[in-house]
Structure 1
Amino acid sequence: MRGSSILGGALKRRSLGSVPEGLHTRPILARIKKSLFDILSPRMEGASFLDLFAGSGSVGLEALSRGAGKVVFVDRDARCARWIEKSLAGIVRSLPPGGIGAARVVRADVLSGLGWLNEEFDLIFSGAPYVDESKKPLRFIGDVLNLIDGRGLLAKGGWFIAQHHFREPADPPPGWEVFRRERYGESWLTFFRHV
């Protein structure tokens, strides 16, 4: 069992419990999550936040704790969706009404399209898997950026942040630019925006 906790904000130090074995997630390391939210801090209050490939929901829950007005979690694995819902229920029960922003969990395959989303987000985070079940490297950044563009999901001035393996190319498609990169061992956080 792997445990994690919320690092900052209204729910700081709250344990998210241990993710059950067999739940195929690659939880974000605490130092990467801390760095990510240190960078996002000036943009968090009231922001709308989309957590793609949400896994255990650790990133989206951190966004809620740090003042996001709305978080939508998306993962195709029903067990991940149930785990996030369970975590949210525990958090909501422990807070007064209105203690955190709104949250929604959606079970869907990100790469099959995001046609069901009809809203814009200030911040979109993608924690896509690095490898498939046979350990073959995966490459999602370009596809996800094209889906975001195709649906108009990123609000004006918004950021898309991809956590990815350092060997995955992070070249922006036309209309996008990389404006920041941070490396943590084999992981990168790459920050994109429209040009």
Structure 2
Amino acid sequence: MPLKAIAGNTTRPTTDKVKESIFNMIGPFFDGGTALDLFAGSGGLGIESLSRGAERAIFIEKDAKAFQVLQENIKKCRYEEHTELFRIDAKRAVKALLKRDITFSLVFLDPPYHQKEYYDLVQLLVDNEKIQQNGIILCEHAKEITLPQSFGEFVLKRQETYGGTIISVYRCTEEEGE
């Protein structure tokens, strides 16, 4: 089902080709779990994870126009009962999530390009054990941004380039017995 796009240039939606490649990299289906879609935009990645078996998804989006489109897309896909949406800055959202009794099986991080400081949020989630041992961290970033080889026990396992976009996939080393 096609999702509504966000008008204007305040966000940079993940293309369908890249989205398909992402889910080919991390697995076509999920056995429950909770996804966290930071900088959610129209919600494409989190919604796709729900359609592939994630039980719940939490969406974080600060931009008012993007948030409205996100709400419409969740409703269109009939995922209201499986989602939480927050119109808040990602840094504040992560600090609030740290206080909750919740862990994530899948974390999508697709911040505005050239804003590397947002990747510190991943480290904060890892340090506070908010990502399950079998979880996946997926970062979408510009070629010019160099991410670390690991966030704690989560090690860079795969990286693919699509034009000016890089997809980096991190998994826990303990998961594979390394």
Confirm or deny a common fold (TM above 0.5).
Answer: yes
Q: What does residue range 55-134 of structure 1 map to in structure 2 within 5 Å?
A: 55-92=41-78, 102-112=82-92, 114-117=94-97, 118=100, 119-130=102-113
TM-score, structure 2 normalization:
0.84
For residue 96 of structure 2, give the secondary structure of its aligned residue in structure 1. coil
Of 139, 143, 147 in structure 2, the residue corresponding to residue 170 of structure 1 is 147
Q: Distance in 2 between matches of 1:110 and 1:38?
A: 27
| Root mean square deviation of aligned Cα | 2.2
User: Which moved further from structure 2: 27-36 or 184-193?
Assistant: 184-193
Q: Distance in 1 between matches of 2:83 and 2:124?
A: 22
TM-score, structure 1 normalization:
0.77
Residue 163 (structure 2) aligns with: 185
Q: How many residue pairs were aligned?
A: 169
1:33/1:104 CA distance change after superposition, 3 Å: same
Q: Distance in 2 between matches of 1:161 and 1:18?
A: 21
Residue 23 (structure 2) aligns with: 37
For residue 152 of structure 1, give the secondary structure of its aligned residue in structure 2. coil
Q: Distance in 2 between matches of 1:110 and 1:140?
A: 11
Q: Distance in 2 between matches of 1:113 and 1:85?
A: 17
Larger Rg: 1
Per-residue deviation, residues 143-180 of structure 1 (Å, max 9, x unmatched): 12222124322012211110001110111344442111
Deviation above 4 Å: which 4+ runs of structure 1?
Answer: none
Aligned-residue offset at 1:182: 1.1
Q: Distance in 1 between matches of 2:81 and 2:170?
A: 25
1:142/1:100 CA distance change after superposition, 3 Å: closer
For residue 16 of structure 1, give the secondary structure of its aligned residue in structure 2. coil
The structure in which a higher percent of residues are helix is: 2
Note the residue ranges of structure 2 that are not aligned, 5 or more in a row.
Answer: 174-178
Residue 176 (structure 2) aligns with: none
1:67/1:21 CA distance change after superposition, 3 Å: same
Note the residue ranges of structure 1 that are not aligned, 5 or more in a row.
Answer: 1-13, 93-98, 131-136
Query: Match for 2:159: what amino acid?
Result: R
For residue 44 of structure 1, give the secondary structure of its aligned residue in structure 2. coil
Query: Match for 1:181: what amino acid?
Result: Q
Q: Distance in 1 between matches of 2:110 and 2:17?
A: 15
